[in-house]
Structures are given as C-alpha cells and as structure tokens.
Amino acid sequence: MSAAPGSSTRLKLWGVRGSIPVPGSGTVRYGGNTACVEVRADGELIVLDAGSGIRELGLALESEFGSRPINLSLLITHVHWDHIQGFPFFVPSYDDKNQITIFGYNGADSGLREILKGQMATPFFPVALYDLPGKIQFESPETMDFKIGKVRVRARMMNHPGVCVGYRIFTSEGSIAYLPDHEPYEAFKLHSAKSHLLSPEQTKKSAQKDRAELVKFLQGSDVLILDTQYTDEEYQAHVGWGHGSISSCVSLALDAGVRKLILFHHDPTHDDQMIDKMVQTARKMAAKSENYLEVEGAREGAEMTLD
C-alpha cells in the first residue's frame, strides 16, 4: 500500500468515528465524523456507509465532477444513525444528473428505503427523500455475493445488534474488507448464553465456529477496516454492546492473514491521544506474531492505494 498515483484502486476515509460525530480540539487529528469510506476501483465509485463523513465526500465529488454526472454505489452496512445520518446532507443527491444506487440488506427495497425516508420525514428534515432531484435507486441483493461492474462484493452478517453486514470488496488489485461494527463472538455469546439453553462448552464451540467462518471470509484481505471501539479493559464493561476490542481485532487480522489493519469506529469519548495509545498497543501485539501485520488508526482524510 502506498499513496503512489497510477493505481486504479484507491481508498479514502471520510468518517472514522462510531456512535455520534465529535468535532472539537481533542479529535482534530483522527477526525470527528461518523462512518464513511470511499473506494475507487475498476472504474467504479463505491461508498461504504453514509455517516456524517459523507457530507464532505459529497462536496469533494461535486468539485471533482463539475458538470459531469456522478454515478455511485452506496453500500450500507446497517441503519444505526452513525451509518446513515449524513445522507440528507450528501449534495450529489440534490442534482438530477447524478445516479445513486443504494445497496443494503434486510429488505433494502422496502426496509432501507423506509428508514432513509423516515430520517428525512417531517418534522425531522425539511426535504423529503422523494423530493431529492438525484436519481436514487435501492437494490436489495438476493444473495451475499453480488457485482458492481467488475468489482465483486461479498457480504456477511456481523455480530452486532439488529441486522448488520460487513463487506469485502474484490478489485482487480486486491481486496478491502469493511467491518465497521462487530463484536467478537465468544465473550458476547457467553454473556448472552445466560438466558439460553446451551452449556458454556457448547456456547464456546458455537462461537469458535462463527469466528472460523469470519476468518475464512477475511482470509488474505489487503486492507481490513475493523471495529476497534474499545481497549481490552473498556470492553470488559461493554460486553454485548456490539463492538470490538484491540486484542480481538489484532488476533482476527493475524489469523486471517490480513496485510493492513485499520482500527475503525473510534469511541466518541476517545481523543487523539487515546487513539494514539490504542494504535501503539495494537502494533505491539502485532509485532509479537511471526506474521507481518501493519496497523494504523483510521484517520479522517487518510488515503491509500492497493498495489
């Protein structure tokens, strides 16, 4: 990975925060906007999630494309606020020359459309979804594997409250996995098994099976953008909240043979210094392994290419 021009697969982070935007002096370096990632690959413009970071992306696209039409695919992982709240402020949807195709699961055709419509309905917002001049189309893929032009997309259900998927995007130059919201299986299952009929051994076994399948899903990803909301200590107090911790993220990336791990979905209470520390901790953990793993903290405005 480098910032060298000429590569056709490019990645830019527009929003890296979880839960709620947190602008302010403490978050200047990593950024305060919620989830949004731009991918350019094989002639396609793919946007991952529509958190508040998508507003800035929209402005950048307007100035890049000028009078030319923008044709993009917006892949939504789930409809928690931090993944859709920026959409009403995405300027390309206010221009009838632009085509925006929104992909999502759990009946995106009705469910996702109704939810995006709902967050723009009176009295929450002055412009209704259907009054947006842009050509907005909803796609609800029937399988967990679909194509956008030459780019293959695989989806997988994540361990997160409600319906939430992660995406792996296969380009001609490598693959990018985007799992913004995911909690490691084992602690979660043991925590929630209290009310279930499975024994702790059966629960552990089922968690290991789920994790092995996730490792397979991620195997050999060039870039993994992964929910690392908590330190290991913080996670102990947040089991069941649907988010990851440093050690579970590093071990998942190592087991899946990932090249670069990007710690994502920063907790709103974590300032730049705290994220620096978390990155250092993750790097130390990765360095103990025989396998090479590059670790970075997701930073708003960061760009990279696959080559």
Among the residue ranges 14-22, 59-67, 122-130, 282-290, the one whose residues contact Zn ion (CB under 5 A): 14-22
Question: In this complex, which beta carbon is closest to Zn ion, that of residue 35 or of residue 41?
Answer: 35
Quick check: 18 binds Zn ion (CB under 5 A)?
yes
Cα angle, residue 226 at apex, residues 247 and 44 outer, rounded to 5°? 160
Q: Which is nearer to Zn ion, 138 or 178 (CB)?
A: 178
Q: Report the residue number, 38 or 267, with the smaller CB distance to Zn ion.
A: 267
289, 258, 295: which is closest to 275 by C-alpha? 295
Cβ-contact 272, 22 below 8 angstroms = no
Hey, which residues between 82 and 121 contact Zn ion (CB under 5 A)?
82
Residue closer to Zn ion, measured from CB, 9 or 231: 231
Q: Comparing C-alpha atoms, which of 190, 155, 184, 164 is closest to residue 243?
A: 184
The smaller minimum CB distance to Zn ion, of residues 18 and 58, is found at 18
CA 239, CA 184: separation in Å to the nearest integer? Answer: 9
Binding mask 152-191 for Zn ion (x = CB under 5 A): -----------------------------x----------
Q: Tell me, by CB under 5 A, how many residues bind Zn ion.
A: 4
**Chosen residue from 80, 168, 260, 270 binding Zn ion by CB under 5 A:** 80
CB 129, min distance to Zn ion, A? 21
Q: What are phi and psi of 43, to 5 degrees?
A: 80, 0
Pull the structure tokens for residue 24: 């302010």
The values of phi and psi at residue 99, to 5°, are -115, 120
55 belongs to the binding site for Zn ion (CB under 5 A): no
- Answer yes or no whether residue 17 interacts with Zn ion by CB under 5 A: no
- Stretches 18-26, 193-201, 233-241, 292-300: which one binds Zn ion (CB under 5 A)? 18-26
**How are strands ordered across the β-sheet holding 165-171?**
145-148, 151-157, 165-171, 174-179, 223-227, 260-264, 294-297
Residue 183: which H helix or E strand, with range? Answer: none
Of how many residues is the chain composed?
307
Determine which helix (DSSP H) or strand (DSSP E) holds 53, and give its type and residue range: helix 53-65
Of the two residues 36 and 295, which places its CB atom closer to Zn ion in the complex?
36
Residues that bind Zn ion (CB under 5 A): 18, 80, 82, 181
